[in-house]
Amino acid sequence: MTDVEKKILEGFLSKTLKIDTEELAGLYNEAGELNSLSVASDADASRIKKLKEDANSQYKRGIKEGASKIENDLREKYDVDSELTGVEFIDFVIEDTLSKKSQDTEDITKHPDYLKLKLDNDKVLKAKDKEWQKKLEEKEGEFSRHAIMSKVKEKALAELAALKPILPEDAKKAQKWKEKFLEELNSFDYSENEGNFVVLKDGKQVQDSHGYMKSFNDHVKETANEMFEFQKAEPRSGSGNKDGDPTPPAVPPKDNDEYVQKMREAKTPEERIQIMKSYVKT
């Protein structure tokens, strides 16, 4: 890389990612050659994280300020002194105002304030209806989520098997680790799209540290990396069977019962992995 190219690169990174001179030095090795872009990658990840945090903070502040303004306007208009908030405060305003109006001898049902309060109350009731409708939709969503999670778990276990995790020799203990692995995946939501799964959190697509959508395979691998160690290399079966190869190619189990039985009889993690891989492929 020429000096001119270095200046162009450093100027771009300094302007777009705010990387100082000391950090820019980490881009090169002792010979002055471009060695790594990890400094730029980390700076970009930090930038994306801060943008998300700022946007979320502004949204919450706006919601809170808007609700507070409406409540203050109602307190001033109807001369109400209450520390209640939200729907409970609106109910209190209606009851308090109607109580005051009931002391008047005229027909309060025709009074503009009564009509206004009735309209407000109708709005509150509609809001309650929407609340229960939302609960019903959430319950339906739970059934839908259960169906999708069944497919997610099946595919995740197949991906895990391909990664060749080192599991306990005891089959029950190994199963416990798999269940724990699935529990971690269950803390996310998923949507299905043409046989693939989109990873969701709080209704939004999960992104990596650079702001790109995280694939299901990467999601499974990251979760597995946090829980398991993996075999370094594939056991070899065609090298002359030196010292007795303990992991010959496994005969695929015919059904689930035979799969469980073979897993129990296996004596090493390598044997179990071979059995698991052959069963998943079938």
pLDDT over 60 (residue 244): no
The per-residue pLDDT for 153 is: 94
Confidence of residue 231 (pLDDT cuts 50, 70, 90): confident
- pTM score, two decimals? 0.41
Single-letter amino acid, residue 49: K
Identify the CA nearest to 11 among candidates 45, 19, 41: 19
| Coil, helix or strand at residue 231 | coil
Residues comprising the chain, all counted: 282
Asked whether 209 and 48 are in contact (CB, 8 A), the reply is: yes
Q: Which tokens is 20 given?
A: 């100082």
Identify the CA nearest to 161 among candidates 74, 84, 250, 97: 250
Among positive and negative, which fits the CA dihedral 74, 80, 83, 86?
negative
Question: Between residues 282 and 223, which one has the greater pLDDT?
Answer: 223
Q: In what order do the strands lie in the sheet with 196-201?
A: 189-193, 196-201, 204-205
CA 152 to chain centre: 14
- pLDDT tens-place string over residues 185-222: 999 999 998 878 999 999 899 998 888 999 999 999 99
Identify the CA nearest to 183 among candidates 214, 144, 156, 215: 156
- pLDDT tens-place string over residues 144-191: 888 899 999 999 999 999 999 999 889 999 999 999 999 999 999 999
Count, in order, helices (H) and strands (E) of the chain.
Answer: 9, 3
Whole-number Å distance between alpha carbons of 64 and 101: 31
Mean pLDDT over 29-58 rounds to: 81
The per-residue pLDDT for 239 is: 45
The C-alpha R_g of the chain, in whole angstroms, comes to 31
